[in-house]
Structure 1
Amino acid sequence: MRIEKIVKAGTVESSDISIILEPTEEDEIVVDLTSVVKHQYGASIEKTIRKILNKYNVTGVNVIANDRGALDCTIEARVETALERAGIEVDI
């Protein structure tokens, strides 16, 4: 499934994450992560983002993630909110 417009969810406040999804022509998922804890948790954050995108079969997307120490549940919620804003029905 592809998104057709740029969408955003979340903030750059402490303990949150800003997620921007941009459609691309490619079939891959590219994650550009900026995080205050990237050296410790960057791989886990990216894994969580990819898990949610794969759950909804989303391809052809650039993800710009600006993390400020968000927990996994917050990351999942922000990605799902962005997907909803892109018109993809998510399980809530």
Structure 2
Amino acid sequence: MATEPTRALTDDGKLLFGAGFVFGVMVTLVLLGVVVAVAATNGTALPTTVVATVAGGIVFAGIVGSGLFLLAFPENRTKIPVDDVDFGVGEEE
């Protein structure tokens, strides 16, 4: 029985996975926001903290997901100057 070698995720794979995860969370939060909006239109009083938490989660997930998606492609990485030393690349151990 031959075993297949394990493949490590590339940088692109990691960034696309992260972006997909964040966008999935954002879709879930948008659906939660729709449920909150429907409950509010039915006359149910919702605490401001619930609405603020859902809105904040959607905005945060959108910003992080967009950033990860943008950085997942090499042609976009050249538009954003990043110093390799900030990420520990090129440092001596």
Quickly name the TM-score band, shorter chain normalised. Answer: under 0.3
The TM-score with structure 1 as length reference comes to: 0.23
Q: Which has the higher helix share?
A: 2
Q: Which has the higher strand share?
A: 1
